[in-house]
Amino acid sequence: MNQGFARVEMRSLFMDLTINNILRMMAGKRFYGDGTEQDDNSRRVRHLIDEVVAKAGAGNANDYIPILRWFKNFEKQVKKLAGRVDEFLQSLVDEKRANKEKGNTMMDHLLSLQEMQPDYYTDVTLKGIIIVMILAGTETLTGTLEWAMLNLSNHPEVLRKARTEIDTKIGFDRLIDEPDTKSLPYLQGIVLETLRLHPAAPTLVPHMTSDDCMLAGYDVPRGTMLLVNVWALHRDPSVWEDPEMFKPERLENEKEKQKVFSFGIGRRACPGVGLTHRLVSLALGSMVQCFESERIGEEYIETREAPMMCPATLLLAMCKARPIVHKTFHAFA
């Protein structure tokens, strides 16, 4: 194993991690890692996700000037992409259905429900649930991990403090595990502060009024689309002290944590909040515990136009394995 620093492009690694995580939950399949290098499906699923995200984030002038439909083929491209996505999702359903060994994946449970209520849990319903999970659980998690690593690169004192917390509470004889993250308040603060400054969906998910109502003194008719500018709320100087500063310690306070609602609040909040906190905390903690890292370049990284708030350019870093990596790998060898 190379003892020196190596140049690493973070986004691809984080995307591989999140795709594997979601698809193992959904279908019990690994698409990345040892033994999957020659698997055509691994390249296929990554390409499909990239295409869907690109199309979902693209502006469509046809929505505003219908006559352009005669000259632009955007809708035709979307329909063609939808067909390829449906083909991939159906292959997952068919493969899982053909496997007589019942597992504990989400698809196993959905197929069990389909047997009991076939008219309700159709293949269309199953595929809809799967694609929502894949899209919601890959791009958002990848972007959050990117921003977290970028924040640590910009604030080496925060990185040092997080590593000291992990080394002190976990030690040097084993790797961090998911239950450990609950006892690492500073690491949790880093995750929450990243979500405060860089919410994956800066205006949350659009909502619609079910009845005429009044908001902030304005009459809002039924059927109005409402967006919550959580990005602005999280940077409001009347709510936060030094709102533009990255200060994880502020979110070790339970009262301050209540001000962060990157996933919304109430019954309509995103159900993926728990998964995001667990996976990001574990992945980030593992990176901090296992690797020394240094940022390449000092230029400010902007956000890019997309359904989620992501860095505009690839996050590159110089990484070097810490002694605990060699120690634990030798123990497993």
Q: Residue 176: pLDDT above 50?
A: yes
Please calculate the CA angle 325-15-321 and round it to the nearest 5 degrees: 15
For residue 57, the model assigns a pLDDT of 65
Percent of the chain with pLDDT over 90: 48
CB 190 within 8 A of CB 248: yes
Please calculate the CA angle 192-196-198 and round it to the nearest 5 degrees: 110
pLDDT digits (tens, 9 = 90+) for 212-271: 999 889 999 999 998 999 999 999 999 999 999 999 999 988 899 999 999 988 888 888
Q: Residue 2: pLDDT above 50?
A: no
Record: fold of 9-198+245-332: Cytochrome p450 (1.10.630)
Q: Residue 1: pLDDT above 50?
A: no
290 is in an annotated binding site: no
For residue 40, the model assigns a pLDDT of 67
Per the listing, tokens 């063609």 go with 80
157 — pLDDT class (breaks 50, 70, 90): very high
Higher pLDDT, 303 or 291: 291
135 — pLDDT class (breaks 50, 70, 90): confident
The predicted model gives 117-130 an average pLDDT of 94
The predicted model gives 292-309 an average pLDDT of 65
Rounded CA-CA distance 151/83 in Å is 39
User: Of the ranges 7-11, 171-175, 278-282, which one carries the lowest mean pLDDT score?
Assistant: 7-11
Best mean pLDDT range from 57-71, 96-110, 152-166, 287-301: 152-166
CB 290 within 8 A of CB 325: yes
Any idea what DSSP says for residue 300? P
Rounded CA-CA distance 162/165 in Å is 5
Rounded CA-CA distance 49/132 in Å is 11
For residue 333, the model assigns a pLDDT of 56
Per-residue tokens: 130? 């799967």
The predicted model gives 26-30 an average pLDDT of 85
For residue 286, the model assigns a pLDDT of 96
For residue 278, the model assigns a pLDDT of 93
Best mean pLDDT range from 164-168, 249-253, 309-313, 317-321: 164-168
Any idea what DSSP says for residue 249? G
